[in-house]
Structure 1
Amino acid sequence: MRPAPEEVRTVVCAGTGVIGGGWVAYFLSRGFRVVGWDPGSGAEDRLRHLVDAAWPALTELGLADGADRANLVYEPDLPAACAQADFVQESAPEDLDLKRRLLADIDAATPEGVVISSSTSGYAMTDMQTECTHPGRTVVGHPFNPPYLIPLVEVVGGKLTDPDTVAWTSEFFRLAGKSVIAMDHEVPGFIANRLQEALWREALHMVAAGEATVEQIDLSITDGPGLRWPVHGPMLTFHLAGGQGGMAHMLDHFGPSLLSPWTRLEAAELTPELRDAVVAGCDREAGDRTIDDLVAERDRGVIAVLRALGRA
């Protein structure tokens, strides 16, 4: 039987890489018992390293009652892990055939009614649930990196997903402290990734054309519109651009400029030269800072923004 969202005690995280490990850290910080599973060699050591690295930030944000890294159990056998689940979060690599097989295996081993959520960043649940015996309990719970800090989760079911599963999952994530978008329809790439992808493609075009450097592109966001986006998203930002007339005035006044050839939404060809230019630019921007240094810097910054906005 499916527990009520508030009755979940044990979360199984199937796949414990960057995203799955981030989920492990987050659920531990919320006081859950977490069972981690991953078939990769050395996965347990990598997982515990990730949790330890995330714990200072989670501690600073505030741990739930009972939160303890000792509540992490690593289980190398998938059926044994899933048998313990009140909720499952799958975070395997983005390979459709792999996702289909793994979700079917999880479905076969997980107690009746328990929700199985996927962290996929692009696949539709309709395409992933095809081999499941009980597809009605499968749903997408799409997080953002790092899942232990970024609040948003996009929840959407597939054609065979029960509506109650979407509602249950949305409520579970809300009770676990997440900001939830319960999507009405499957959309390729979901919502936030579609918007991220447009910005990413435009940035690659500008680097490829020699129009802007990696450093200039990042600064244009961090010291430009990025400062507004934690407060108002792109729609309300442009609503304010219309002054007292709001979005209506903005569209009436600036509408013709939408036809200006400012953007090139087709994907830029990822040539070796473009790849090297982007990688070199990131290396220059990082300077002497290691990946761990940058993660800590990012985490401190996100916490500061969340606190400044009264969200933490």
Structure 2
Amino acid sequence: MDTPVKRVAVVGTGVIGASWVAYFLAQGLDVSATDPMPGAEEKLRKTVERHWPTMEKLGLAAGASPDRLTFYPELEAALQGVDFVQENGPEREDLKIELFRRMDAALPAHVVLASSSSGLLMSRVQAACAHPGRVVLGHPFNPPHMIPLVEVIGGEQTSQQAVDTAMAFYAAIGKRPIHPRKEVKGHIANRLQAALWREAFHLVDQGVASVGDIDTAIAYGPGLRWALMGPFLNLHLSGGEGGIRHLLDHLGPPIESWWADLGTPSITEELKQKITAGVQEELQGRQSGLLESERDHLLIGLIDAKAASKTLP
């Protein structure tokens, strides 16, 4: 790992924040964590302990240790001497604006303030900062301690230097950062997920398929290919020797007809009940905890295999 960042502040240590803490520690960084919730420190340390065997399997950097975690009840104390901030507070714009105002006031102007927000726009979050140019989105994909993707987006007042610094930092610690050029609700990955969810919910709502059938269709169909390459490269391979252009020329009209037929469901109480009952039926005989553990075990193998590939992007 080659990065000038040596100490990271993690602000907010819920599910996402705690996952970030485990990852930063595994990369050999010092972590200053803070969260105002009662019992937050004990819960965080237990979560890091639970994640640590996974971090060991993925590979630890030199000097990596849970002992390099320090918890502070007060925000300003946790920010002292840090080189980078990863914020993971509640997804409320008013709270984020005030939180970033306080962080901005407490830190030197060169320290980048990154938010894990899944949907808020940095142009709004940075509004009350005296140094708005250093505010960026650093949106991870859950769980951050395993999934490499990070979306880095600036707001209207964000400097290119701050974006470049964040991109370089995440890349240096083993992430796969991407830089969307425009702010949009939900960023990129969540919008793509939402498109799939919309049609999945529609198919259940219309009685076309069960919850279990849809999960099987993705997990044992296109999901296997998507885990290796994105939608455009997969379409390119489907085009044979002619590649993506051949596929678009010949399958463009059918694809457009499918788009025109996609549903626009509303998440009504009735649909909520259908989805919940379907998931419960799918989980019969399985424990959610064991399912999560098995998912993580398989993810480690997949991540290792992708890292070893000389061809896949």
Which TM bucket (shorter chain)? Answer: over 0.9
Select between 40-49 and 222-231 the one with higher mean Cα deviation: 40-49
Instruction: Find 1:151's aligned residue among 148, 152, 159.
Output: 148
Please show how residues 269-284 of structure 1 align to structure 2 within 5 Å. 269-284=266-281
Q: Which residue of 2 aligns with 1:247?
A: 244
Please state if 1:102 is matched with 2:118: no
Instruction: Tell me by how many angstroms 1:230 deviates.
Output: 2.2
Instruction: Tell me by how many angstroms 1:31 deviates.
Output: 0.6
Question: What amino acid is the match of 1:284?
Answer: E
Contact 2:205 2:271 in 1 (8 A): yes
Q: Aligned partners of 1:16 and 1:299: how far apart in 2?
A: 20
Q: Aligned partners of 1:229 and 1:246: how far apart in 2?
A: 17
Q: Aligned partners of 1:62 and 1:188: how far apart in 2?
A: 34
Q: Which residue of 1 aligns with 2:79?
A: 82
Deviation track 1:240-291 (CA, whole Å, cap 9, x = no partner) reads 2211111111111111113324566665211112112212222222334444
Q: How many residues align?
A: 308
User: How many percent of aligned residue pairs carry the same amino acid?
Assistant: 48
Instruction: Find 1:224's aligned residue among 213, 221, 225.
Output: 221
- TM-score w.r.t. the length of structure 1 is 0.94
- 5+ unaligned residues in a row in structure 1: which ranges? none
Instruction: Find 1:27's aligned residue among 20, 24, 29.
Output: 24
Q: Which residue of 1 aligns with 2:59?
A: 62
Instruction: Find 1:306's aligned residue among 279, 288, 303.
Output: 303
Q: Aligned partners of 2:176 and 2:58: how far apart in 1?
A: 16
SS of the aligned residue for 2:178 comes to strand
- TM-score w.r.t. the length of structure 2 is 0.94
SS of the aligned residue for 2:307 comes to coil
Please state if 1:162 is matched with 2:159: yes
- 5+ unaligned residues in a row in structure 2: which ranges? none
Deviation track 1:23-79 (CA, whole Å, cap 9, x = no partner) reads 001001101111111111221222122211211111111111111111111110001
Q: Give the RMSD, CA atoms, in angstroms.
A: 1.7
SS of the aligned residue for 1:309 comes to helix
Q: Aligned partners of 2:242 and 2:195: how far apart in 1?
A: 28
Q: Which residue of 1 aligns with 2:109?
A: 112
Q: Aligned partners of 1:267 and 1:47: how far apart in 2?
A: 40
